[in-house]
């Protein structure tokens, strides 16, 4: 049994390394071929690296490349994350960080989307968000604000990872406003917003769901139809009206957003006076949704 678990963990670890490689490459691609040529500061260490490169190129004796700034700025952040998250997290993030640093050094300079800041901000944000989200799924980041945002969740657990990174990146965008013009900064804000949304989408990866509470005298018929027609499990709870003192059956069903319209029709068909509540579920794991603890 232990040998099987060890083999399973090894496969999972190798899969995570592959995801880290893919995520790092997507992020490097976005920085090298979209953000840097356009001079768009989207936050993160990569944004700081673009600022350093611009200032050194225009006002310094030598141009400091992206990969070097990425390397130097990340060191203190790595030390902080090591202290908070432990060495195991740093190993994964270290792999992603090294991959990105090497790729920024070896990828040739090229402007993928010239003279179009809107497309740059949108598609750059999409790629950067997807790449970062993939790395977070593999319990890693490319370093910088990604790692810092992930680590700071120890102190701000009520704030989603994507939102935390948005705040950090937004602060760097403000710094970029003093270096580049306002137009670039406004487009960068769009990109930061897109990044945050894509990160949350990738990290959630279908865990969000809907929960329906149904109070009706025809609960048995409604539950049967939901299970047959929607193929969703239904839980029956014993409730009691506080005012009337009468016992009530409360049906609970966790489902997807697309199930709600048909569920409404089922409830309406059996009992037009039924009490029907639909709420949001931030995470649903189990049969019919994401596999347990995947």
Which of 204, 237, 256 finishes a domain? 204
- Same domain for 87 and 141? yes
The residue count for the chain: 294
User: What does the angle CA 135 – CA 137 – CA 139 come to, to the nearest 5 degrees?
Assistant: 75
Are 126 and 98 within one domain? yes
Distance of CA 197 to the CA centre of its chain: 7
Helix (H) or strand (E) holding 266: helix 260-270
Statement to judge: residues 53 and 192 lie in one domain? yes
Is residue 169 within 8 Å of 43, Cβ to Cβ?
yes
The C-alpha angle 236, 242, 244, rounded to 5 degrees, equals 95
Q: How far apart, in whole angstroms, are the C-alpha atoms of residue 74 and residue 79?
A: 9
In a domain, 196, yes or no: yes
Q: Which domain holds residue 80?
A: 2-204
Domain count, the chain: 2
Tens-binned pLDDT, residue by residue, of the chain (294 aa): 455 557 777 888 888 899 999 999 999 999 999 999 988 887 788 889 999 998 998 888 898 999 999 899 888 888 887 877 777 667 888 888 889 999 999 999 888 888 899 999 999 999 999 998 898 888 777 778 777 877 777 777 777 776 887 788 778 888 888 888 889 889 988 988 898 889 888 877 656 788 999 999 899 999 999 998 888 889 999 888 887 888 888 999 998 888 888 899 999 999 998 999 999 887 776 666 665 555
Same domain, 52 and 140: yes
Q: Is 261 exposed, middle or buried (0-12, 13-18, 19+ CB in 10 A)?
A: exposed
CB of 88 closer than 8 Å to CB of 16: no
Shared-domain flag, residues 166 and 232: no
Same domain (yes/no): 79, 193: yes
Pair (54, 153) in one structural domain: yes
What does the pLDDT read at residue 120? 93
pLDDT at residue 289 in the model: 60
CATH code, 263: 3.30.70.120
User: Is residue 28 domain-shared with residue 127, that is, in the same domain?
Assistant: yes
- pLDDT score recorded for residue 219: 92
Q: What is the pTM of this model?
A: 0.73
pLDDT, position 3: 56
What b/e sequence results for 5-34 when a residue is b if at least 16 CB atoms lie within 10 Å of its CB, and e otherwise?
A: eeeeeeeeeeebbebbbbbbbbbbbbbbbb
Query: Per the domain annotation, does 62 fall within a domain?
Result: yes
Total Cβ atoms within 10 A of residue 283? 10
Examine the fold and report which residue of 171, 204, 237 is the final residue of a domain before the chain moves on.
Answer: 204
Tell me: do 198 and 249 sit in the same domain: no
Cα angle value 222/226/230 (rounded, 5°): 160
């Amino acid at each position: 049994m232990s040998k099987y678990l060890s083999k399973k963990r090894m496969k999972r670890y190798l899969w995570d390394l592959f995801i880290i490689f893919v995520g790092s490459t997507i992020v490097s691609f976005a920085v090298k071929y979209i953000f840097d040529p356009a001079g768009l500061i989207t936050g993160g260490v990569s944004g700081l690296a673009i600022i350093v490169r611009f200032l050194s190129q225009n006002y310094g004796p030598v141009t400091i490349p992206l990969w070097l700034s990425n390397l130097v700025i990340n060191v203190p952040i790595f030390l902080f994350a090591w202290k908070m998250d432990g060495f195991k997290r740093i190993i994964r993030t270290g792999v992603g960080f090294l991959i990105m640093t090497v790729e920024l050094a070896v990828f040739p300079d090229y402007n993928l989307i010239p003279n179009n800041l809107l497309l740059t901000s949108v598609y750059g944000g999409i790629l950067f968000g997807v790449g970062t989200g993939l790395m977070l799924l593999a319990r890693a980041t490319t370093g910088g604000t990604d790692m810092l945002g992930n680590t700071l969740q120890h102190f701000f657990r009520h704030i989603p990872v994507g939102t935390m990174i948005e705040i950090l990146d937004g602060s760097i965008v403000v710094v970029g406003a003093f270096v580049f013009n306002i137009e670039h900064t406004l487009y960068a804000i769009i990109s930061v917003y897109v990044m945050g949304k894509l990160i949350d989408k990738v990290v959630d990866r279908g865990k969000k769901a809907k929960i329906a509470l149904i109070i009706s005298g025809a609960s048995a018929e409604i539950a049967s139809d939901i299970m047959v027609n929607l193929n969703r499990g239904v839980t029956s709870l014993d409730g009691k009206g506080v005012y009337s003192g009468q016992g009530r059956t409360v049906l609970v069903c966790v489902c997807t957003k697309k199930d709600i319209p048909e569920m409404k029709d089922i409830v309406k068909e059996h009992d037009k006076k039924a009490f029907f509540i639909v709420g949001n579920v931030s995470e649903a794991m189990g049969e019919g949704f994401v596999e347990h603890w995947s």
